[in-house]
């Protein structure tokens, strides 16, 4: 095989040669012919191609010859002709190129006992894309029926991959919850998928959610007239002498948080499903979403675990995954700053919160400010950490804008790969003083949390943020924290927030980290001063 030519059938049809995109014919029919020939990977009669794509009055044979000439210019080279045709048949020499779908299909049909998790994760991301997206109705009804059939096959391949991920012995229980949830969403009445999700939830300490999931599945199976082979809920607790249950003695703070966390879903006005979570008891504290969130993965992390534990001490701590990442819908039409604010509005309204303090971190600060300006009667206080009033397309120097544009290019081409170097750009600037193992965790966390496409869309949306006009409209007591040597957002931007919000307190922190870590003195200072701020204002 010559891997220099790569063809993607998943998503929009694309061709690259030696890593460089090749322009395709403008004709949808010509592109559809290429997709059909590559996907079928066998000779096709010329008459059949003419029937699929052209009506008789349009000189089908002449149109086919024209399309093949355009396609040869795309895929052939001097040493390797790939469009192979004679007077009767036309074929694409699939063995001379790398084709995403054909490679995945061959790998899965070999049915190896274990495919490494990184390879499976890439497959899952690729198979989420529609087969030959945008080529519907490029041919006749038979072509559309073939397209639907192939998309059904892609769907079955994706289920195969999700099953392997959910049950993989090398994937930890927390990540297994994600894949089991995706698997069950696609096959809501399949017992094995439901059992995998229930077991994954129970083994991460979330017995209550697992029992709800079990009850929902049993009810749905009964309504559908299906028999369940046996109990779905595993025994994951230990009994005391008095018959009560307790967690295992080696349970960490983060594991306890996961076990007690309650996850729910609500829908924004445009139909996007938003996932939210609550933990702890007491007056509410709401955290606006930031880059990046995942309600199941970040709670059990070395990065966010200590912060979330501090937030949930004596309070009902509420957070959510904004659209496009985490447990919220990924396939969304709108990833913009206004949509981020509406997601926050959706969550607090769904939970019936009347008045509450808001915690904003990074771009979550701008979301919190916009919400507080629009709903002053709802916000009792603002806690802003590492925030900024304007995005990089507005407030950054030309040099910084150029760097950000370069990172966008790297993200487009490398985010979803097994190589963490592309994501490490973010990890290193977010937390330059983090431990190596924490940076490695964050590298992988980012890949699991968002698709490459949405990672680019988020960065572009962050670049256009501008809440300067909203600063003077904030009436709630506000405290602004910012690391003096923040490598991501300069302390001057933090000061600009504090200057623009009337009576805001500004607290510089001795740190280089954009995300404060639970083992650094600046984190302890931030937590202590936040508690004092809330007490001072009776919040």
**444 falls within a domain:** no
**311 falls within a domain:** yes
**234 falls within a domain:** no
| pLDDT, tens only, 261-291 | 888 999 999 999 999 999 988 999 999 999 8
| pLDDT, tens only, 184-232 | 999 999 999 999 999 999 888 888 888 889 999 999 988 898 888 777 8
CATH number at residue 66: 1.10.10.10
- pLDDT band (50, 70, 90) for residue 340: very high
Which three-class secondary structure state does DSSP give residue 409?
A: helix
CA-derived radius of gyration, the chain: 26
- pLDDT band (50, 70, 90) for residue 475: very high
The token pair that represents 41 in the structure block: 């990977």
**410 falls within a domain:** no
- pLDDT band (50, 70, 90) for residue 256: low
User: Which residue pairs from 165-168 have beta carbons closer than 8 angstroms and sit at least 24 positions apart in sequence?
Assistant: 165/117, 165/120, 165/121, 165/124, 166/193, 166/196, 166/197, 166/200, 167/196, 168/114, 168/117, 168/120
Q: Which domain holds residue 14?
A: 5-98
Average pLDDT over residues 528-532: 95
- pLDDT band (50, 70, 90) for residue 336: very high
Show which of 57, 82, 98 is a domain's final residue. 98
Question: What is the count of structural domains for the chain?
Answer: 2
Choose between 379 and 41: higher pLDDT: 379
Show which of 40, 68, 98 is a domain's final residue. 98
| CA gap 257, 297 in Å, rounded | 11
Do strands 505-509 and 478-483 pair parallel, antiparallel, or not at all (unpaired)?
parallel
**145 falls within a domain:** no
pTM of the model: 0.57
**143 falls within a domain:** no
Show which of 70, 98, 126 is a domain's final residue. 98
Asked if residue 240 has pLDDT above 70, the reply is no
């Amino acid at each position: 095989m010559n891997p220099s030519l790569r063809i993607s059938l998943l998503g929009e049809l694309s061709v690259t040669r030696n890593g460089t995109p090749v322009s395709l014919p403008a004709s949808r029919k010509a592109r559809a012919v290429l997709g059909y020939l590559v996907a079928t990977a066998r000779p096709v009669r010329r008459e059949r191609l003419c029937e699929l794509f052209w009506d008789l009055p349009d000189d089908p044979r002449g149109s086919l010859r024209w399309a093949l000439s355009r396609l040869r210019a795309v895929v052939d080279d001097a040493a390797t002709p790939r469009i192979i045709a004679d007077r009767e048949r036309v074929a694409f020499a699939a063995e001379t190129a790398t084709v995403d779908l054909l490679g995945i299909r061959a790998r899965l049909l070999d049915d190896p006992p274990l495919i490494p998790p990184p390879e499976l994760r890439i497959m899952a991301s690729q198979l989420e894309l529609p087969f030959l997206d945008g080529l519907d109705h490029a041919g006749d009804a038979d072509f559309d029926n073939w397209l639907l059939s192939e998309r059904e096959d892609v769907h079955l391949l994706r289920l195969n991959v999700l099953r392997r991920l959910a049950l993989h012995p090398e994937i930890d229980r927390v990540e297994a919850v994600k894949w089991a949830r995706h698997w069950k969403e696609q096959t809501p009445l399949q017992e094995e998928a439901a059992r995998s999700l229930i077991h994954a939830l129970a083994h991460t300490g979330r017995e209550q959610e697992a029992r709800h999931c079990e009850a929902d599945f049993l009810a749905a199976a009964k309504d559908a007239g299906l028999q369940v082979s046996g109990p779905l809920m595993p025994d994951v607790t230990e009994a005391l002498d008095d018959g009560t249950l307790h967690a295992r003695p080696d349970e960490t703070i983060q594991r306890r948080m996961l076990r007690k966390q309650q996850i729910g879903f609500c829908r924004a006005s445009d139909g996007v499903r938003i996932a939210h979570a609550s933990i702890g008891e007491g007056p509410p504290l709401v955290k606006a979403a930031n880059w990046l969130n995942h309600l199941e993965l970040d709670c059990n992390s070395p990065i966010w675990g200590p912060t979330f534990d501090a937030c949930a001490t004596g309070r009902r701590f509420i957070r959510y995954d904004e659209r496009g990442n985490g447990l919220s819908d990924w396939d969304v039409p709108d990833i913009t700053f206004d949509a981020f604010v509406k997601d926050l509005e959706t969550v607090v309204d769904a939970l019936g919160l009347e008045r509450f303090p808001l915690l904003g971190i990074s771009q979550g600060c701008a979301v919190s400010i916009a919400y507080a300006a629009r709903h002053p009667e709802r916000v009792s206080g603002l806690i802003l950490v590492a925030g900024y009033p304007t995005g990089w397309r507005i407030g950054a120097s030309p040099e910084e804008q150029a760097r950000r544009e370069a990172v966008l290019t790297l993200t487009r081409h490398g985010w979803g790969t097994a190589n963490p170097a592309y994501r490490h750009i973010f990890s290193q600037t977010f937390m330059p003083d983090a431990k190596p193992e924490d940076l490695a965790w964050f590298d992988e966390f980012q890949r699991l949390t968002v698709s490459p496409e949405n990672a680019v869309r988020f960065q572009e949306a962050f670049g256009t943020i501008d809440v300067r006009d909203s600063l003077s409209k904030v009436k709630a007591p506000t405290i602004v924290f910012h690391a003096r040597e923040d490598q991501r957002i300069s302390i001057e931007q933090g000061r600009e927030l504090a200057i623009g919000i009337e009576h805001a307190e500004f607290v510089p922190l001795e740190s280089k980290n954009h995300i404060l870590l639970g083992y650094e003195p600046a984190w302890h200072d931030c937590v202590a001063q936040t508690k004092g701020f809330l007490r001072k204002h009776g919040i």
